[in-house]
Amino acid sequence: MKNPNGAIGLTLHRCHLRCWASPHLARQRFRVGHRGRSVKNMRLLTTAILLLIHGVAVAQIEVPRSESPDGHFVLMIETDKDQAGYEMDSLPTMWIEDKKQKKRLVEFSFGADPSSDAQPLRNNTKVLWNAEGDAVAIQFQERHYSHLSVYRLKGSLDVPEAFIPCAIPPDSEIIQKMVPRFKEFRSRWFQHPDAWIDGHTLLYTAGAGAILNPKEHPSKDGDDTNFMAGYRFFVDYRDPETPIIKRIEHAIEN
């Protein structure tokens, strides 16, 4: 974009920085001894960076219904499908923010396939906090699938340091071992956070339809080889790195 006055200029358009310069100024170089010129160019660079930071801030979006119980923390996303400048099928950065300090306590990308439907990604993100507001389960949804992430606060609510990602149990492997005559999963795998039983125990449901190996001696009524392998997991997240599975139970009856 050309400035009609031929001078160096800066504009911010849809959160993208655009710079222009006259041909004479474009040929300038930083040289030792050219103090005035260097200072001028450094000022322009500083201005550009400040404008770019401001542009990114404008694009930040709060995920609906994602505040912690006391309003201390919130889940944010940098851009979305219904925003100008969104790159199709991209995975925007998301983060948990300390609202008081405007500080990012953890960053991650949207955790599902962004191209599976036309919905804004923030509408496909569900957030479940514990009552204390120091642990959170996040579900990322796509067409026919959903995925779970869990984070726990390091530090205190008064002096939060960061949110630490927690390990998710190998629920798929566990379910395969629990289903008699398991052959393979069908599509539509899901992980759904149901409730925090207490400050550190998360109840979530995981599974999918399963195909079973035929019985060796099928009944005269036929052999049902379909099974809904959905299970409830009760997981202790006191230690983010080593979750403890307290109990597993079949959630969905055929």
What CA–CA distance (Å, rounded) separates 174 from 169? Answer: 9
Q: What is the pTM of this model?
A: 0.74
Higher pLDDT, 4 or 53: 53
Domain positions in the chain: 9-59, 60-165, 167-254
- Contact between residue 110 and residue 94 where contact means Cβ atoms under 8 Å apart: yes
Amino acid at 49: I
Q: Is residue 91 exposed (0-12), middle (13-18) or buried (19+ Cβ within 10 Å)?
A: middle
Helix (H) or strand (E) holding 54: helix 35-59
Whether the pLDDT of residue 18 is over 60: the answer is no
Any idea which residue has 């170089």 for tokens? 29
Residues 6+ apart with CB under 8 A from 99: 67, 71, 72, 73, 74
Six-digit token string for 201: 């125990």
Digit-coded pLDDT (tens) for 48-89: 455 454 444 446 899 999 999 999 999 999 999 999 989 999
Confidence grade of residue 12 (pLDDT, cut at 50, 70, 90): very low
3-state DSSP call for residue 236? strand
Return the sign of the alpha-carbon dihedral for residues 71, 77, 83, 84.
positive
Q: Residue 39 pLDDT more than 80?
A: no
